[in-house]
Amino acid sequence: MTLTGTVLDEIIVGVREDLAARRAEVPLAAVEERAAATAPARDARASLAGDGTTMGLIAEVKRRSPSKGALSEIPEPAVLAAAYAGAGASAISVLTEERRFGGTLADLDAVRARVEVPVLRKDFVVDPYQVTEARAHGADLVLLIVAALDDALLRDLHDQITGLGMQALVETHTEEEVERALALGADIVGVNARNLRTLDVDLDRAAALLRRIPAGPLAIGESAVAGVADVEAYAAAGADAVLVGEALVTTDDPAREAAAFRAVTRRGRPQQDGESR
């Protein structure tokens, strides 16, 4: 698959340039050595699944975004992450892309050192080096964006992630991408309400795609959450958890909001055509 002239393209160009600089500074062998010495990854899927009664929450450390610009300075990401964890967040998402999102691997290090819940490295992963980096910096979960990867690379990166003991959040936005994620055997499938090619947001479309995910994989609703009503809409569509950044980092009380999102009742996946009751 070739992407041309999209926001996603532009982001990935910068990601590759920054990756080349890090690779020149820190050889892969050094990253592999650090990864091998890192404590085993936590079980993010189990944490997100919880007891099945209320929504799981991936609470995000997010300073800015291409669509909204600056959101929050977050001078101490570990403090914010600890507040999320204290409010019952199932996992913490840490943006590590610097140019558009203002994140760094140092943020990931700080959060990992502070919280015991699983941590997601959220970035535009397009190279095996980044997966090894994620493990070296203590990530338990790694984002893979289907729209950014062809099938061969998607499978290779997914296999590498699981081979290192981590889990992958495989993000989709279209019916075709959902089918690709399911064909991969993804255990955690995200549906992003935001189209990374245009930055348009459509929660209704995301809800329709979530309903296409069969029982088995965890289904994660991403983006378009401004309040509890949006989490409830994701729950009604069968999401097991939501990933929320902007609504948490722009509120006066992130812990209160996180707790409110976590309290939403999970509904279960709507029955698929042909499934027996």
Q: What pLDDT sits at residue 271?
A: 62
CB 150, CB 1: distance < 8 Å = yes
Number of Cβ within 10 Å of residue 1's Cβ equals 13
- C-alpha angle 3/107/9, rounded to 5°? 10
Report CA-CA distances (Å) from 137 to 94, 96, 148, 152, 275: 11, 11, 23, 26, 42
Using DSSP, state whether 277 is helix, strand or coil.
coil
Predicted TM-score of the model (pTM): 0.94
Number of Cβ within 10 Å of residue 124's Cβ equals 23
In whole angstroms, give the CA distance from residue 139 to residue 31.
Answer: 13
What are the structure tokens assigned to 215, written together?
Answer: 């029982």
Reported as a single tens digit per residue, the pLDDT across 25-46 is 999 999 999 999 999 999 999 9
| Domain 7-262 is found in CATH 3.50.50.60 | no
**Per-residue tens of pLDDT for the chain, all 277 residues:** 333 458 899 999 999 999 999 999 999 999 999 999 999 999 999 999 999 999 999 999 999 988 889 999 999 999 999 999 999 999 999 999 999 999 999 999 999 999 999 999 999 999 999 999 999 999 999 999 999 999 999 999 999 999 999 999 999 999 999 999 999 999 999 999 988 777 888 999 999 999 999 999 999 999 999 999 999 999 999 999 999 999 999 999 999 999 999 999 999 887 654 443 3
